[in-house]
Structure 1
Amino acid sequence: MRKTYDLDGSSLSGVPLTRDVGHSRYLELARASDSPQISYMNSQTTPTLLVEPNTLLREGLKRILAETAYSPVALAANFDEALAGWETSATPFLLIMDGARDHDEACGQVRQLKDQYASARVLMLVDHYDLKQIITAFQAGVDAYLIKSVSCEVLVKTLDLVMLGEVVFPSVVLELLREHALRADGETVMQSAEKVPDGTFQTKGLSVRETVILRCLMEGDSNKLIARKFDITEATVKVHVKAILRKIHAKNRTQAAIWASSHLPADEHAST
């Protein structure tokens, strides 16, 4: 089983992790070329194919990788051109490709490549990170996924890991997953009750007492304060709160308050 690394992991110790280098890093090293033709050259290093529709970026990446073990043996503006003149062997080869122009098409090409050449390794370069696109890319078989403004050092170290059979994902994925989880959690609570056609709200079987206690939770009242308001014991309040959480499928008092603010009518008056 392959390990999975993020760009902030200790496995990349000593590597600058700045992502603010920008396209200028490529442009500084690039020399504009008017020829759209693929160029092939002999190489004793890891066979590397580079697919990038932007000429400046393509030439810039070529120069960046020229002094590494991944000096491109084929440069092309699109996937088909890159593979057209490629003679593969049993040796694993590397494909560095653009995923920004048409992400879905690029993922489809990765699947095609992996089906035909199981030993191929793929690094996809994009303009920005999107959680759904990242997931789609890795499901397609992408081995590493980087933004185009990544530093040269991180790019090369990532290629090293990929050729060792590892999977490298951007650390921003963790942040995106956390945000997605929070949104999904909130939506689950918000959808736990639905408004019925006559404009009233379903209360998920809540009793009158549970409904007024739920309003207290919405206002941030503690169990002790609720007990004083209704002249009941704190133990009784806890029993009601547990019943409320169970009925509206909330995990805690905060979620219950969110549910109440969205699903209890504003003009409903608390009663005992």
Structure 2
Amino acid sequence: MELARSVEPSSGEHVAGRSTKTLLIEPNALLREGLRRILAETAYAPSAAAASLDELGSMAAFDGSTIVLIIDASRDHEETCRQAKALKDTNSGAKIVMLIEQYDIKQVIAAFQAGADAYLKKSISHEVLVKSLDLVMLGEAIFPGAILDLLREREAPGAHANEVPAAEDPHDMGPPAKGLSVRETVILRCLMDGDSNKIIARKFDITEATVKVHVKAILRKIQAKNRTQAAIWAASHLPASRGTPTS
């Protein structure tokens, strides 16, 4: 399992010091019990576990604590996203971790827009699960690095975006979104490709420091926490590329 970023989590003791209430939603009774036992000796020992959110009743009992919702999203993804958004609307500090069987670009974007903080395959190891929860508690959003490949396929099914020359015609970019400049829009497309600051700098003949300034501006304008969130946002908000200009 390739995590969406390489940030190292703080020690378990750091995270454990926070007041959290973990809710575990998994319709498969055997898997639910397995997850409960895995998390029992961690800072995320489930306070309650059920087959559905409806079984848990009101969230009022969890006032004053940070809610960590670990929920299966593989059976009814649309309904899970609806519930996630409803929880975020009533408790903006809640952390939502969705567990799925396989990746689908539309579902990843839907989960991101619903406010999911992590989107993990059920095939990950228990160590990765716990470390992912640590990162979520530190304010990180965890999406699979593999999703960048899906984003590239969605963006340019017949061509690779990183083959666009640096002297790109602004008219081929389509209108900027969310107040982004043309240069920021171009760089955002590079983020969708997973390009590093060094690669972007070479592509547009600018310094890495300038790239960092642009990336910070992009994240601020689209209210993304990191490059992966920005790439996912771009997949559903930027206009489709009108083709690679010829040199």
TM-score range, shorter chain: 0.5 to 0.7
Kindly indicate whether residue 141 of structure 2 is the aligned counterpart of residue 167 of structure 1.
yes
Q: How big is the shift at 1:8?
A: 5.5
Cα distance in 2 for partners of 1:182, 1:98 equals: 31
Which amino acid counterpart does residue 94 of structure 2 have in structure 1? A
Which amino acid counterpart does residue 252 of structure 1 have in structure 2? T
Kindly indicate whether residue 126 of structure 2 is the aligned counterpart of residue 152 of structure 1.
yes
User: In the alignment, which residue of structure 2 is the partner of 1:95?
Assistant: 69
Q: How big is the shift at 1:119?
A: 1.2
**Larger-gyration structure (1/2):** 1
Kindly indicate whether residue 8 of structure 2 is the aligned counterpart of residue 9 of structure 1.
no
Runs of 4+ in 1 over 3 A off after TM superposition: 83-86
Which amino acid counterpart does residue 11 of structure 1 have in structure 2? V
User: In the alignment, which residue of structure 2 is the partner of 1:70?
Assistant: 44
Cα distance in 1 for partners of 2:153, 2:126 equals: 29
Which amino acid counterpart does residue 117 of structure 1 have in structure 2? N
Change (3 A) 1:85 1:107: closer
**Percent of residue pairs identical:** 52
Change (3 A) 1:249 1:54: closer
Would the aligned equivalents of 1:50 and 1:82 in 2 still touch at CA under 8 Å? no
Cα distance in 1 for partners of 2:243, 2:47 equals: 58
Unaligned runs of 5+ in 1: 1-5, 14-43, 187-247, 254-272
Change (3 A) 1:88 1:182: same
**Backbone CA RMSD of aligned residues:** 2.4
- Residue of 58, 81, 94 corresponding to 1:120: 94
**Matched length:** 157
Which amino acid counterpart does residue 168 of structure 1 have in structure 2? I
Cα distance in 2 for partners of 1:60, 1:82 equals: 19
Q: How big is the shift at 1:163?
A: 1.0
Trace 1:1-272 onto structure 2 (pairs within 5 A): 7=3, 9-12=5-8, 46-84=20-58, 87-183=61-157, 251-252=245-246
Q: TM-score, normalised by structure 2?
A: 0.59
Q: TM-score, normalised by structure 1?
A: 0.53
Q: Secondary structure at the match of 1:124?
A: strand
Cα distance in 2 for partners of 1:176, 1:63 equals: 34
Change (3 A) 1:75 1:249: closer
